Amino acid sequence: MSSSTFRIGGDLEVGRLGFGAMRLPTGPGPAREASLALARRVVELGITLIDTAHLYGWGANEELLAEALHPYADELLITTKVGVARSAASGEGHLDGRPDVLRDQVEQGLRRLRVERIELLQLHRIDPEVPLADQLGALRELQVQGKVGRIGLSEVTVTELGQAREIVEVASVQNRYSLVDRAHEPVLKACEAAGIAFLPWRPVAGALSGALSGATAEIAAVAAELSATPAQVSLAWLLGHSPVILPIPGTARLEHLEENLAAAQLRLSPAQRDRLDRLPQQAQQA
């Protein structure tokens, strides 16, 4: 049986099933109150890893989490991401890995999250217009200053991960990955070999989608056998697939939050896991 916890960077222990805060409404009114209540329920249910980013509402998501949860429980890790900036002209986001921009976004994150140190800071995307050494060098400087604890990456290839590890110690990788979307399997294997946390985003993608009818039907069949939901089956598969996987499913609905958390207790039989393991090949042939 795989462990229910993981030590990010070798020392920061969190539960392996986390929460992605991106979907939480941050505007004023009843929707915000519901978001605050849900964030508090996340912690009440024992989740110790929450993922946010500067991009999510341009800081509004970070502020929401601070309003809901500060002062934070000792065991709670809120990880955030920097490296996407908002265009003053269009209001749209674009990659911006210039050191001064990264430093400014970290300072904003510290203020909004009401902390003196971000224990895990992830580069949201590598900016191809800025040397990688400059981007990671800026984060390393913040690490030396004590404003950042550990450095992670998002949406990287095996080659980029290797290049980054020559510059800084990489504690985490956050790539799109799910039961039916395993394009980043080589990155996962590289993380596994190095003991790096792998945080899949969109971890239940395809479980409910009609786009992959064969895969969807197989997931639904396994779910029926276990009296579970397709999303729970997808999360259980991820947790058993690799000990470094830390799924961060997101939702704005309390019932979905509780369903997702229950996936940690779901046990797939070897035969069921084998059927699910074969899904990508089946989906590609469909």
Active-site residue numbers? 56
Which positions ≥6 away from 271 have C-beta within 8 Å?
Answer: none
- Distance between first and last Cα of the chain: 33
Q: How far apart are CA 180 and CA 248, in angstroms?
A: 16
The burial class, CB within 10 Å (0-12 / 13-18 / 19+), for 30 is: exposed
Torsion of CA 273, 276, 282, 286, to 10 degrees: 150
Q: Which amino acid is at 173?
A: V
CA distance 63 to 82: 15
Q: What CA–CA distance (Å, rounded) separates 1 from 207?
A: 24
**The one-letter amino acid at 230:** P
Residue (of 204, 209, 187) closest to 19 by Cα position = 204
Task: Evaluate whether 113 touches 56 at the Cβ level (below 8 Å).
Answer: no
Q: What is the crossing angle of helices 230-241 and 213-225, to 10°?
A: 90
Cα 45 to chain center, whole Å?
18
121: amino acid identity, one letter: L
CB 168 within 8 Å of CB 120: no
